[in-house]
Amino acid sequence: WERILVPVDRMSSVLEGIRMAELRDVWAGLGRSSNFTSIYPSQEIMPELTALLGEPGPAVKPQPPDGVDDAVWADRMGLGIVPFEALSVRLRAVKLDGASPTDNRFISTAWPLASRAWLVAQTQAGLEAAARLSDALPITNRHADRLTVLVMTGVTAMGRNSAVAIERSGDYGFLARQVGPELAAADLTIISNEIPFVPGCVADNTLNNLILCSKPEYFLNLELSGVDAVGLTGNHQNDFGYHNMLWTLDFYRQKGIPYYGGGEDEREARQPLILEHNGNRLAFLGANQWGPEIYWSRGAGARVSAWAGAGHPGSARFVLADMIADIQAVAPQVDLVFAEVQHTEFNNAGEYQTEPIPLQEKDFRALSDAGADVVTGVQAHAPQAVEIRDGRLILYGLGNLYFDQTWSWPTRTGLVARHTIYEGRLINTELLVTVIETNFQLRWATPEERMSVLRSVLRRCANTVSVSTAPSSSPA
């Protein structure tokens, strides 16, 4: 028998981890920590925590099981402790000595914050009784075969300077060499790829070139990232003509990679993708609000639309009422719905900004209120704000993943959303921070860079303890 206990902080916190020795000292009143000064454990686990950590000191303030989240949110220097099954999107698990029960690589026997007991048979009758119990053991509050780690990412467009960097390196997987293994460690990894794969694509980093393609060989970067599905809401899918997008869709099918948010025609583009892992059924759907309706594609030598139509491929056209209907139609079939939108992201001055523009906020909140458990902006070329809305999560923009915008610090940074789903519930979301190096290879942010980016995007979340689902008063 085991019961896994988890240190937690507000979703808006930038605290990544603590040490077990640090927790013991603050618990017993024998030391101080710069990370937290108060501990708010759930009352139900106090006997177990006392057995593990000793008699509590003055910093320990037990709470009713349903009161830990409010207590932690009310105290910027507070740390909560809850049983694993009590995790929720408002409370983010904090790593303990570098490990977390929300990770699919978690080794429960090495976790120090757990209650455990064993049955030992001492007689023949005991052996027989133990044999009858074997199918039910171990008894635990964390079953690894009920947990799914899902990674979702921002803009990928392996063209222009990214393509030139790949060619210069002589390594078709150059962009993903540093971050790919961690992305691939997830059970499901979703890549939002904005541009088509075109056989014989020539790397073109001409100034202001907006007609983009990738060589099929560049798919190695997605393989190194463990891609399990691709979102096609990007507005460059038809840059090299409808025939090359159709070729790209067939290329994904040959690779065994399902897609959503785009397709051979408008019907397929709107179809949700349903993935199941460890008993968790997840729906993914996406759409492109930006368009354009018609543009001249130098790569195609013709006028094309970014949106799929009755007889041609493209991304799904964003119509708010239609997407709400699609969310509500698929929700009864699955445990969680993930909706993503390629939306207008810049303000009237043409600038990227952390806060969403009013129309983006209005649309994303409407999708959340319609039942989308996570709404994600995949248009953003710089990380955008995070919001919790009635227990559901809105990530307004994840920024760039594999792309070439190194001309500003915000466009060099990106967010990777690592979601943990357990028994059909979203119990944790961790935001990993990436940086595009000047050679266009992606790397993980330093601790200082991570804190700077997260403080910016979590500011809205930190200032909002609870959000009503009443209609938004934001201007349209």
Does the structure show a pLDDT above 50 at 429? yes
The pLDDT mean for the chain works out to 94
Return the pLDDT at 476.
Answer: 26
What's the CA gap between 9 and 391, in Å, rounded?
A: 16
Question: Hey, CA dihedral for 336, 341, 345, 348, is it positive or negative?
Answer: negative
> Quick one: pLDDT band at residue 134, thresholds 50, 70, 90?
confident
Does the structure show a pLDDT above 60 at 332? yes
Other Cβ atoms within 10 Å of 358 Cβ, number:
13
Burial of 457 by CB count in 10 Å (0-12 exposed, 13-18 middle, 19+ buried)? buried
> Quick one: pLDDT band at residue 158, thresholds 50, 70, 90?
very high
User: SS3 of 178, please?
Assistant: coil
pLDDT digits (tens, 9 = 90+) for 437-470: 999 999 999 999 999 999 999 999 887 544 333 3
Return the pLDDT at 464.
Answer: 58
Return the pLDDT at 475.
Answer: 27
pLDDT digits (tens, 9 = 90+) for 15-46: 999 999 999 999 999 999 999 999 999 999 99
- Single pTM value for the model: 0.95
Of 53-67, 307-321, 404-418, 459-473, give the lowest mean pLDDT range: 459-473
| Tokens standing for residue 106 | 């978690």
Average confidence (pLDDT) over 108-122:
93
In the chain, the percentage of residues whose pLDDT exceeds 90 is 91
| Tokens standing for residue 378 | 């995949």
Does the structure show a pLDDT above 50 at 472? no
Does the structure show a pLDDT above 50 at 236? yes
> For 85-148, where are the alpha helices, taking DSSP H only?
124-133
Average confidence (pLDDT) over 313-323:
98
Of 48-52, 298-302, 311-315, 400-404, give the lowest mean pLDDT range: 298-302
What is the chain's alpha carbon radius of gyration, rounded to the nearest angstrom?
24
Average confidence (pLDDT) over 177-183:
98
